[in-house]
Amino acid sequence: MNSGPRRLFAGWGRATWTSAHVAAPANQAELEHLVFEGLEGFGRFVPRGLGRAYGDAAQCAGGLVIDCRGLRSVIDVDHERAEVRASAGISFDELLEFIVPQGYFLPVTPGTRFVTLGGAIASDVHGKNHHVDGSLGAHLKRLCLVTPTGVLECGPQVRREEFEATCGGMGMTGVVVEATLRLLPIESSWVVVDTERASDLDACLSLLSADPAKYRYSVAWVDGLAQGKRLGRSVLTRANHASVAELPERWQRQPISYRAPRVVKVPFSPPFSFLNPATVSAFNEMWFRKAPRKRERRLEQFASFFYPLDGVGNWNLLYGPRGFTQYQFVVPFGAEQALEKVLEKLSTGRVASFLAVLKSFGPAGTGPLSFPTEGWTLALDIPLATPGLPQLLDELDLLVAGAGGRIYFSKDARMRPELVQAMYPRLAEWQAVQGRLDPTGLLVSDLALRLGLTRRESLRHPETSDK
Amino acid sequence: MIDGTGMPETAVVIGGSSDIAAAVLKLLAPRRLRSVVLAGRSLENLVQVGNDLRGVGLQSVHCRHLDVAATASLAPFTAEAVGILGQVDLVLVAAGQLGTSVLEDLGAEDVSSLVATNFAGPAALVTEFAKYMVHQGYGRVVVLSSVAGVRTRKANFVYGSTKAGLDGFATGLSDALAGTGVTVNVVRPGFVSTKMTAGMKPAVFPVDAQAVARAIVRGLETGQQVTWVPPKLRYLFAVLRLLPSPLWRRLGG
């Protein structure tokens, strides 16, 4: 048995804590050595980036967690093709600091810049521009993957199956060590934002549906506690990148500058959740009222528009010792009733959700386990201490699955395992590829184990591998 | 795996045919629980509980004869349970006997057998499982203590002292396990109307097995270390603990 030091791991939601051994390879050679020769006695392993998945995707109880942050360099920027080649442990924050001054932006970014490139690929992340640009996988040109069966180069044209299984594959196809990403050339580091209030869900959906190509970025913040006639009242923010001509004259000389604000940290976790129905409904009320009814063409910096929550480090601590989860699902267009029903159940259940986020997804990407599919997606942060919450969310799972929708694995900590197959009908196809890359079942995260993503019979248990 | 709401997929239950254990399993079955190992002294009673549980959706139920007082059987039992379940998410210790505390009826054998059944055996077994869970990287142990152990009284001092021992063991173990991913929940019910207490006069704030089961499941959800059932007993006993002995003697009859 391997008896090195262990560390406790949890996801961003701080809901499930499990202990595992840790290894932090400093480069690809060390990582390969570890995966090919150093796994004896660990039973299973899982790669981890910055730990921003909400649930148990990047932890491995009793096994080995490979901290990928050692691999974080920009290898090359190809200005002719507008591409960047980087090690996968690099964070979007670090990447932005490098590429924005050179006149590029990320083709897709989630709501936080503190994710690694590898983690973003494993989650096949989406951003406010999914309806126009799709998910991250659509902008990847090439990947380098260290799997238990060898080092593998893959992309949309080369070893397509392995590439697609890796986009959204939750890290279970191997450790992404390097990726080449197509970038978005920009004229300025500003976005032009239109803000508008919607008094209820119908108004919100019709605003989001009208002329979808008008804005590259579009999202609605929904008051998850508003009930009755105000159900789904929301504030829409929609934006496009600003061209130099759109900037005031005094900024035009230096249209690009990237300054992410310094992060203020929450110093400790309070003994209870600061976010409860009372504080959250007061906050949501204020948020809705302070938003302008309609405001056009306001210029905003990247950091405040794309990463509003990144200004406060460790904001997840505010949810107290029990932590929180994010419930994010997508239902197809036409299933608006299911969407409304979910919102209704959450608001009448007084589930304190701090600013729910609603947006529309464009067509699905190619990954068999990639989350985004065409339709409406809603994401809500919910404190886990809420009484009756588990049963309520179980009910919502059924509603979502019944409407042909699915839950986002990267946010999940508790979904019904028996619904995975219905929500992800291409699971078997993914399992076939995954099983080829990892025939002895070494790559099993706690999430994969909980939901039975990788075939259960291939699971090597620590106990049986030791003796 | 235990999910983010604290719900286990697998469980080992010691004293598997007790009213409280059966009620807990019935609440966990529709959530995430799929396989259990039920252990106890009467295989017949276990099989009956097992059949009920299959009826409410458990995929697999394994019943095993186990006398916790037989120390030599504990390590092999732990290994067997681990082998059956693969991962052990939850261990629920609900074994216990009331015995007698009437001095004239008490023999040395009675006292040492009650200590073995209620304290020494469960403590030894929990140790075995806790060690396995540390290796596994996570796990939850729920130990049924009793308010009888918070301050022992003359009416049931033998039972009370065994619970006091187990309670102290479990709370200490809980602290010893900090940082391992394994947590312990000590449950302190007041008077519970069950087959163990049938025919007895209920004490203040009596509860039924259902209420204890609900509190245990809520304890799994919140991850708390100590659960009082009903919760107000925590405050009552904060006071009762401090009562002068002569007064306590009179109350504790």
> Does residue B252 carry a pLDDT above 70?
no
Question: Would residue A168 count as lying in a domain?
Answer: yes
Question: Would residue B198 count as lying in a domain?
Answer: yes
Q: Cα dist. B9→A388, B34, B85 in Å? A: 19, 5, 9
Amino acid present at A313: G
Same domain flag for A54 and A153: no
pLDDT band (50, 70, 90) for residue A456: low
> Does residue A457 carry a pLDDT above 80?
no
Question: Would residue B44 count as lying in a domain?
Answer: yes
Q: Which residues of A touch B9 (CB under 8 A)?
A: 450
Same domain flag for A290 and A169: no
Please judge whether B7 and A387 are an interchain contact, meaning their C-beta atoms are less than 8 angstroms apart.
Answer: no
pLDDT band (50, 70, 90) for residue A464: very low
DSSP A167: T
Question: Would residue A464 count as lying in a domain?
Answer: no
Say how far apart CA B147 and CA B204 lie, in whole Å.
11
Same domain flag for A260 and A318: yes
Strands B60-65 and A190-198, sheet pairing: unpaired
The interaxial angle of helices B157-176 and B121-136, nearest 10 deg, is 20
User: Can you tell me the mean pLDDT for A14-36?
Assistant: 96
Q: What is the pLDDT of residue A154?
A: 98
Same domain flag for A269 and A376: yes
Instruction: Give the phi and the psi of residue A361 in degrees, each rounded to 5.
Output: -100, 145
Same domain flag for A274 and A342: yes
Domain end among A154, A185, A216: A185
Instruction: Give the phi and the psi of residue A146 in degrees, each rounded to 5.
Output: -100, 110
Strands B90-93 and B139-144, sheet pairing: parallel
**CB A114 within 8 Å of CB A90:** no
Say how far apart CA A259 and CA A301 lie, in whole Å.
9
Amino acid present at A241: H
> Does residue A1 carry a pLDDT above 60?
no
Q: What is the pLDDT of residue A415?
A: 97
CATH of the domain at A143: 3.30.465.10
CATH of the domain at B180: 3.40.50.720
How many Å separate Cα A373 from the centre of its chain?
14
Which residue carries 């001054």 as its tokens?
A101
User: Can you tell me the mean pLDDT for B117-146?
Assistant: 97
pLDDT band (50, 70, 90) for residue A268: confident
Q: What is the pLDDT of residue A195?
A: 96
Same domain flag for A41 and A125: no
Question: Would residue A465 count as lying in a domain?
Answer: no
Same domain flag for A214 and A271: yes
User: Can you tell me the mean pLDDT for B160-187?
Assistant: 97
Same domain flag for A212 and A88: no
Across the interface, which of B2, B9, B134 has its CB nearest the CB of A16? B2
User: Can you tell me the mean pLDDT for A265-273?
Assistant: 82
Question: Would residue A345 count as lying in a domain?
Answer: yes
pLDDT band (50, 70, 90) for residue A264: confident
Q: Is B2 helix (H, G, I), strand (E, B) or coil?
A: coil
Q: What is the mean pLDDT of chain A?
A: 92
pLDDT cut 90: percent of chain B above it:
82
CB-count exposure of residue A131 (10 Å: 0-12, 13-18, 19+) = buried
Q: What is the pLDDT of residue B151?
A: 93
B contact test, residue of A2, A12, A17 with most B CBs within 10 A: A17
> Does residue A414 carry a pLDDT above 90?
yes
Contacts of A18 (CB under 8 A, 6+ apart): A8, A9, A10, A56, A59, A60, A61, A62, A446, B137, B138, B181
Say how far apart CA A333 and CA A381 lie, in whole Å.
23
Question: Would residue B49 count as lying in a domain?
Answer: yes
Q: What is the pLDDT of residue A3?
A: 54
Say how far apart CA B245 and CA A318 lie, in whole Å.
45
Q: What is the pLDDT of residue A463?
A: 39
Helices (H), A354-426: 389-402, 420-423
Give the number of domains in chain B. 1
Same domain flag for A309 and A370: yes
Amino acid present at A299: L
Strands A104-105 and A184-185, sheet pairing: antiparallel
Q: Which domain covers residue A442, as residue numbers? A: 6-66+425-459
pLDDT band (50, 70, 90) for residue B54: confident
Q: Cα dist. A415→A55, A395, B115 in Å? A: 10, 10, 43
CATH of the domain at A236: 3.40.462
**CB A216 within 8 Å of CB A133:** yes
**CB A84 within 8 Å of CB A103:** no
Strands B182-189 and B226-229, sheet pairing: parallel
Same domain flag for A368 and A226: yes
The interaxial angle of helices B121-136 and B74-85, nearest 10 deg, is 40
Q: Which residue of B has its CA nearest to A457?
A: B86
Q: Which residues of B touch A417 (CB under 8 A)?
A: 32
Q: Does residue B138 carry a catalytic annotation? A: no
Say how far apart CA A420 and CA A403 lie, in whole Å.
14
pLDDT cut 90: percent of chain A above it:
79
A contact test, residue of B3, B80, B87, B133 with most A CBs within 10 A: B3
Say how far apart CA B170 and CA B220 lie, in whole Å.
16
pLDDT cut 70: percent of chain B above it:
99
Same domain flag for A83 and A155: yes
Q: What is the pLDDT of residue B1?
A: 95
Q: What is the pLDDT of residue B90?
A: 98
Give the number of domains in chain A. 3
Residue B9 exposure: Cα atoms within 13 Å on the Cβ side:
19
Instruction: Give the phi and the psi of residue B186 in degrees, each rounded to 5.
Output: -95, 125
Question: Would residue A135 count as lying in a domain?
Answer: yes
Same domain flag for A115 and A224: no
> Does residue A36 carry a pLDDT above 90?
yes
Question: Would residue A46 count as lying in a domain?
Answer: yes
Encode pLDDT of A76-131 as tens digits.
999 999 999 999 999 999 999 999 999 999 999 999 999 999 999 999 999 999 99
**CB A379 within 8 Å of CB A324:** no
Say how far apart CA B123 and CA B109 lie, in whole Å.
20
> Does residue A217 carry a pLDDT above 80?
yes
**3-state class percentages of chain B: helix first, strand second, coil last, to nearest 5:** 50, 15, 35
Q: Which residues of B touch A20 (CB under 8 A)?
A: 137
Domain end among A153, A185, A217: A185
Q: What is the pLDDT of residue A112?
A: 95
Question: Would residue B3 count as lying in a domain?
Answer: no
Contacts of B105 (CB under 8 A, 6+ apart): none
Q: Which domain covers residue B147, as residue numbers? A: 10-251
Please judge whether B3 and A16 are an interchain contact, meaning their C-beta atoms are less than 8 angstroms apart.
Answer: yes
pLDDT cut 70: percent of chain A above it:
96
Question: Would residue A1 count as lying in a domain?
Answer: no
User: Can you tell me the mean pLDDT for A141-162?
Assistant: 97
Question: Would residue B2 count as lying in a domain?
Answer: no
> Does residue B253 carry a pLDDT above 70?
no
